[in-house]
Amino acid sequence: MSKLANIPTNIITGFLGVGKTTAINSLLAQKPADETWAILVNEFGQIGIDQAVMENQTEGVAIKELAGGCICCALGPALTSTLALLLRRSKPDRLLIEPTGIGHPAGIIDTLQNDNFKEVLDLRSVICLLDPRALDNPEVISNPTFQDQINLADVIVLNKIDLASEAQTSFAEERSNSLFPPKQAVVKSIAGQISLSLLDLIRKDECQALFPDAHTIPNQAEHPTAPQAQPLFQLQPKAGLPLSKEGSNHGLYSCGWVFNKSDIFIADKLIPYLQSLPNIQRIKGVFHTQEGWVLYNQAINETTVSPITYRRDSRVEIITTRAFEKDEIQQKLIDCLHISTQ
């Protein structure tokens, strides 16, 4: 890494379902053709969906995923080693980091500025996406991680304003502009469309966390269910027999499934079933359906379904606010299959 120095680096943060991955895809579409960008994605879930969403978006992009749940459990050697490997292999002109929606950004900032990386990385603006409608949710606005995502940001992007009311957007804008120290920019966005120029704003160290201990690495004995950062599934699931992995932390429960690429889902059965699940915080999935490959994205009760170029396998991650019966959901997903040809 001695040859690498002062790589412009940005953290793209925001709460679950706010549209971080969509925003990064928007930035990738604006990437200069002669540059190589590295993307490090940390997901709360167990199997990793975001890398599939970003793949094949553009050339000159190296993507590495750090899946496995709680960001505070991944901020030790796993984050340092994964980041070092990504930088050595890709030698990027820019690094973007997308933490999980319940990840406290302070720990990542500390890691980027420690002795391992302080000469290698040039930390620029920390960008926080905010859905104006979130300010109507007491559970969200009282969450320490949510508050510090806002407090530690240099830029606030009011995203999904097309889905918020004018009053909600105005209130969020007013509150964002009244924060101290002042943000370098407060901008509005639809579908994560933000200007590339925001990345090169210089970070101000005066932004401080209100809850600095929220990202402390826990003692594993005190957090027996804290999942460890692990790679994506190495084994290819058999047709009709998905692989699964579950975990829990921060009062949320997750389970992910990976299906063989030959498994074909009936969209008219699958989508209504996913929408019927209770206590949903987040569902993100890539499915091979009779109508083609699609990306399914659900944040609480808001759902979008769109085409996707990913073709490796079908995979879905479900995050809920209450423990759920994994085997029952798995069987329901299998029941949505049309045919397996392998």
Query: pLDDT per residue over 97-147, tens digit each?
Result: 998 877 777 878 888 888 889 899 999 999 999 999 999 988 888 888 888
Give mean pLDDT, residues 266-270. 96
pLDDT band at 339 (very low <50, low <70, confident <90, very high): low
pLDDT at 176: 92
pLDDT at 1: 44
**Residue range(s) in the chain whose domain bears CATH number 3.40.50.300:** 7-215
Cα angle at 18 between 171 and 142, to 5 degrees? 60
Distance in angstroms (rounded) separating the CA atoms of residues 330 and 225 = 21
Per-residue pLDDT band for 61 (boundaries 50, 70, 90) equals very high
pLDDT at position 76 is: 60
For strands 280-289 and 314-320, give the pairing: antiparallel
- Confidence (pLDDT) at 224: 36
Q: Which is more confidently placed, 165 or 51?
A: 165
Distance CA 21, CA 35 (A): 20
Q: What confidence score (pLDDT) does residue 67 get? A: 66
Average pLDDT for 326-336: 95
Residue 13 has pLDDT above 80, yes or no: yes
Quick one: pLDDT at residue 220?
36
Note the pLDDT of residue 51.
Answer: 56
Q: What is the mean pLDDT of the chain?
A: 82
- Identify the pLDDT of residue 95: 97
- Edge-to-edge strand list for the sheet holding 121-130: 61-66, 37-42, 94-98, 7-14, 121-130, 155-158, 185-188
Separation CA 67–CA 238 (nearest Å): 22
Q: Which fold has domain 243-339?
A: Hypothetical Protein Yjia; Chain: A;domain 2 (3.30.1220)
Structure tokens at 190: 């639809």
Is residue 29 pLDDT above 50, yes or no?
Answer: yes
Q: Is 90 helix (H, G, I), strand (E, B) or coil?
A: helix
pLDDT tens sequence across 167-194: 999 999 999 988 878 899 999 999 999 9
Instruction: Please state, in angstroms and rounded to a whole number, the distance separating the CA atoms of residues 120 and 118.
Output: 6
Number of H helices, E strands in the chain: 10, 15
pLDDT of res. 232: 36
What pLDDT is stored for residue 72 in this prediction? 45
Query: Is the distance from CB of 287 to CB of 296 less than 8 angstroms?
Result: yes
**Average of pLDDT values for 20-27?**
92
pLDDT over threshold 70, residue 316: yes
Look at residue 300 in the predicted model and tell me its pLDDT. 80
Q: How many CA atoms lie within 13 A of 138 on its CB side?
A: 0
- CATH T-level assignment (fold) for domain 7-215: Rossmann fold (3.40.50)
Query: What percent of the chain has a predicted confidence (pLDDT) above 70?
Result: 81
Judged against a pLDDT cut of 70, whether residue 25 lies above it is answered with: yes
The answer to whether the pTM exceeds 0.75 is: no
What are 217's two structure tokens? 């690495």
Is residue 206 packed enough to be buried (19+ CB in 10 Å), middle (13-18) or exposed (0-12)? exposed
Band the pLDDT of 287: cuts 50, 70, 90. very high
Instruction: Report the Cα 44 to chain-centroid distance in Å.
Output: 8
% of the chain with per-residue pLDDT over 90: 48
Q: Which residue ranges does the chain devote to CATH 3.30.1220.10?
A: 243-339
Confidence band for 54, pLDDT divided at 50, 70 and 90? low
